[in-house]
Amino acid sequence: MMENIFGFSISPSSAINMDKVDRALFEELCRVEPDAVRCMACGSCSATCPAAAFSGMSIRKVLLCLQRGKEKEAFRMMSNCMLCGKCTMVCPRGINTRRLVLSISRIYGKEDTK
């Protein structure tokens, strides 16, 4: 194998191309959880989440990932949720984030996205 003499390698683009994002499942989610789009990215949920520190779990990021077509990333985070509900307690928009985690699992779980 040829050595990488330049000290860098090519990695896949992490750019988001909104033209290619399929929004069907997220729209289905919004029908049962209309508050899913009301997040204002304040970060309270992640700051209080006991799973966040060691796993990177963040409801804010999960919602963002789902809307940007990064489902895999969202599931990786969500698998660490303990459903304790602390995030719901602090969300200033009153989003039932704990129930959201359950609804996401239910709706996205139907598809083989994992």
Partner 1 sequence: MKEIVVIIGGGIAGLEAASKLLDLGYSPIIVEKSGRLGGHVARWNRLFPDMTPAADIVSELTERTKGANIFLNTEISFINRLRDSYNIKLSNGISINTSYILFTTGFSLFEAEKKEEYGYGVYDQVITNGDLEQWFNTGEDHRISGKEIGHIGFVHCVGSRDEKARNSQCSKVCCITAIKQAIELKEKFPDAEIWCFYMDLRLFGKKFEDFYTKAQRDYGIHFIRGRVSEVSENIEGKVIVKAEDTLAGKPIKITLDLLVLMSGMVCSQDSTKTAGMLSLPVDSDGFLKSSDNVMHITSSPKNGIFYAGACTGPKTVPETLAEARSAVLEIHSHISRK
What type of residue is 107? I
Piece of 36-44, 46-54, 76-84, 103-111 that binds partner 1 (CB under 8 A)? 36-44
Q: 79 phi and psi, to 5 degrees?
A: -65, -15
Q: Which is nearer to partner 1, 38 or 114 (CB)?
A: 38
**In the complex, minimum distance from the CB of residue 1 to ligand SF4, in angstroms, rounded to a whole number:** 43
Contact assessment for residue 60 and residue 46, using Cβ atoms and an 8 Å cutoff: yes
DSSP code of residue 93: T
53 touches ligand SF4 by CB under 6 A: no
The rounded distance, in Å, linking the Cα atoms of 15 and 109 is 25
Regarding 56 and contact with ligand SF4 (CB under 6 A), the answer is no
Which region, judged by CB under 8 A, interacts with partner 1, from 4-12, 33-41, 80-88, 96-104? 33-41
Residue 83 contact among partner 1, ligand SF4, none, beta carbon within 5 to 8 Å by kind: ligand SF4
**Dihedral, CA atoms, 85, 89, 95, 100, nearest 10 degrees?**
0
State in angstroms the smallest separation of the CB of 68 from ligand SF4.
15
Among 26, 29, 44, 104, binds ligand SF4 (CB under 6 A): 44
Q: Does 37 bind partner 1 (CB under 8 A)?
A: yes
CA–CA gap between residue 53 and residue 57 (Å, rounded) = 8
